């Protein structure tokens, strides 16, 4: 059957009909273009259209009742489902090796709704200490005010220390594949083993890795989160987030998630392996409404189509930049697990076989004032807060993303006065390095 023979309509089930052979028969580079895609039955448009609509016409009275009762898989409203968005959710689920996925309005929204689907007031989440500061802000701000307790576990904690912190109210372990901005590499397999022994899921923010560099579900993760604004989109023009359900966690056996496994409308009984994502979509996302516009998802889909090509080059550029900066006297340290000298290099070889990512963080020997001179001297590399763009970017962390922290809190989090995060783009490595050289010469080498 050729793609345009599939009977796809605007009111089809949220899980689109694949237009190509089974995913296991196709390589990653092919699936990032075709997975989840459907062909509109009316126009035969080859590119996934922008379905810019708030809702969908019911076939009749009974159809409307069935949709609202959950007896029909057809869409009822775009607050939690839209044909354009459904393609992106299915494509990311395919690339990650999950059973279902959904896109939402931002990466922060993805984190919030992913945890709201698991936990309620009085519940407890364990998290690795090294996390993006925006996530930590939400954990100690909005999520704390809504009654969730987030407890951080030191990066070097033993299995026994992790297990000792798990209580009857613990609902997940949370981590990042490559924590932003210090570039440690999480030991996903170990964290999954600890989580599953306690009957709780492992939730992984894999924004910096993307499914091209690491697929956490293959290492035991149960839920994967992305800020799609970064490398997945790649062009810096949209904000978005995504949640992928690995489909392997036994919600009923755990006994900790009655919202999924109990009652006459048990999501586990109705949706099986896709119970978590079904609950997330039909309850949490529907009620909170973090909807992403279809035109933003349209641009996201175009970015995903070239993910492997872009990221492979960005990783190559990053490796060259890291190596070059590691021998500069103006630079006290380079944090990049692609360097053999990096403490996370061996772990990166295990979890990141296609490369260690496209963030290179440097600690300038001259501290804050050297960072000021460095940033102000750049001409090609953009001074801004973002990562994952085709354009290279730089930001001084202590004065921006981590500015709310005290000096003591910054140092405890590894944010030194001279720390600068570089997001390496697709410009030629020669040109990137020439601009960074301009910045380093301006930063200077501190005198004794």
Summarize the confidence of residues 265-293 as an average pLDDT.
Answer: 94
Q: In the numeric block, which tokens belong to residue 34?
A: 């075709």
Residue 88, exposed/middle/buried by CB under 10 A (0-12, 13-18, 19+)?
A: buried
Least confident range of 72-81, 183-192, 304-313: 72-81
Summarize the confidence of residues 194-208 as an average pLDDT.
Answer: 98
Summarize the confidence of residues 289-315 as an average pLDDT.
Answer: 97
Query: Please, how many CA atoms are within 13 Å of residue 392, restricted to the half-sphere of its CB?
Result: 29
Summarize the confidence of residues 396-401 as an average pLDDT.
Answer: 96
pLDDT of residue 42: 82
Task: List the one residue out of 215, 223, 219, 211 whose CA is nearest residue 251.
Answer: 223
Residues 258-269 as b/e (b if ≥16 CB within 10 A, e otherwise) read ebbbeeeebbbe
Nearest 5°: CA angle at 187, between 342 and 232?
85
> What CA–CA distances, in Å, run from 352 to 109, 306, 348?
26, 19, 5
How confident is residue 381, by pLDDT bands cut at 50, 70 and 90? very high
Task: List the one residue out of 431, 422, 372, 364 whose CA is nearest residue 392.
Answer: 422
Summarize the confidence of residues 46-75 as an average pLDDT.
Answer: 86
Pairing of strands 393-396, 382-383: parallel
pLDDT averaged over the chain?
92
For the cut 50, the answer to whether the pLDDT of residue 10 exceeds it is no
Percent of the chain with pLDDT over 90: 86
Task: List the one residue out of 95, 78, 353, 432 whose CA is nearest residue 244.
Answer: 95
How confident is residue 325, by pLDDT bands cut at 50, 70 and 90? very high
pLDDT in tens, 233-243: 999 999 999 99
Residues 115-152 as b/e (b if ≥16 CB within 10 A, e otherwise) read bbbbbeeebbbbbbbbbbbebbbbbeeebeeeebbbeb
CATH of 311-443, one of 3.40.930.10, 3.90.1150.10, 3.10.20.30, 3.20.20.150: 3.90.1150.10
CATH of domain 85-300: 3.40.640.10
For the cut 80, the answer to whether the pLDDT of residue 37 exceeds it is yes
Least confident range of 11-15, 136-140, 141-145, 293-297: 11-15
How confident is residue 2, by pLDDT bands cut at 50, 70 and 90? very low
Sequence-distant (≥ 6) Cβ neighbours of residue 173 within 8 angstroms: 125, 126, 127, 162, 191, 194, 195, 200, 201, 202, 203
pLDDT of residue 447: 81
Domain pair 85-300 / 311-443, same fold: no
pLDDT in tens, 64-114: 988 887 777 667 888 988 999 999 999 999 999 999 999 999 999 999 999
pLDDT of residue 19: 45
Q: Is the pTM of this model over 0.75?
A: yes
For the cut 90, the answer to whether the pLDDT of residue 4 exceeds it is no
pLDDT of residue 1: 27
Sequence ranges of the domains in the chain? 85-300, 311-443
């Amino acid at each position: 059957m050729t793609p345009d023979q599939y009977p796809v309509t605007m009111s089809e089930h949220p899980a689109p009909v694949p237009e190509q052979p089974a995913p296991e028969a196709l390589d990653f580079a092919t699936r990032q273009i075709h997975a989840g895609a459907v062909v509109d039955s009316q126009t035969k448009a080859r590119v996934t259209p922008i379905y810019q609509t708030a809702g969908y016409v019911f076939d009749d009275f009974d159809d409307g009742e069935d949709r609202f009762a959950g007896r029909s898989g057809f869409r009822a409203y775009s607050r939690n489902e839209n044909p354009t968005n459904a393609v992106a959710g299915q494509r990311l689920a395919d690339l990650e090796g999950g059973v279902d996925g959904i896109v939402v309005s931002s990466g922060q929204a993805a984190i919030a709704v992913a945890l709201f689907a698991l936990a309620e007031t009085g519940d407890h989440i364990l998290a690795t200490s090294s996390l993006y500061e925006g996530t930590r802000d939400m954990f100690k701000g909005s999520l704390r005010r809504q009654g969730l307790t987030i407890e951080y576990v030191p990066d070097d904690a033993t299995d026994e220390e992790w297990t000792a912190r798990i209580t009857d109210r613990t609902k997940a372990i949370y981590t990042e594949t490559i924590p932003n901005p210090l570039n440690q590499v999480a030991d996903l397999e170990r964290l999954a083993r600890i989580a599953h022994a306690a009957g709780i899921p492992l939730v992984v923010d894999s924004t910096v890795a993307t499914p091209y560099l690491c697929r956490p579900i293959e290492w035991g993760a149960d839920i994967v989160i992305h800020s799609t604004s970064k490398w997945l989109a790649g062009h810096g023009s949209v904000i978005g987030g995504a949640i992928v359900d690995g489909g392997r966690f036994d919600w009923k056996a755990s006994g900790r998630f009655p919202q999924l496994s109990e009652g006459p409308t048990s999501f586990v009984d109705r949706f099986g392996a896709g119970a978590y994502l079904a609950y997330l979509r039909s309850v949490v996302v529907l009620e909170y409404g973090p909807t992403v516009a279809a035109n933003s998802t349209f641009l996201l889909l175009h970015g995903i189509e070239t993910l492997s090509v872009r990221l492979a080059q960005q990783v190559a550029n990053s490796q060259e930049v890291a190596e070059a900066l590691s021998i500069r006297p103006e630079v006290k340290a380079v944090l990049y697990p692609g360097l053999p000298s990096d403490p996370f290099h061996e772990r990166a070889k295990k979890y990141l076989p296609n490369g260690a990512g496209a963030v290179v963080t440097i600690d300038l020997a001259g501290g804050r004032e050297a960072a000021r001179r460095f940033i102000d001297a750049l001409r090609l590399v953009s001074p801004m807060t973002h990562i994952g763009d085709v354009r290279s970017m730089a930001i001084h962390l202590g004065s921006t993303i981590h500015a709310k922290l005290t000096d003591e809190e910054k140092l405890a989090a590894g944010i030194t006065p001279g720390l600068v995060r570089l997001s390496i783009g697709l410009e030629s490595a020669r040109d990137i390095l020439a601009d960074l050289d301009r910045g380093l010469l301006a930063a200077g080498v501190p005198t004794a």
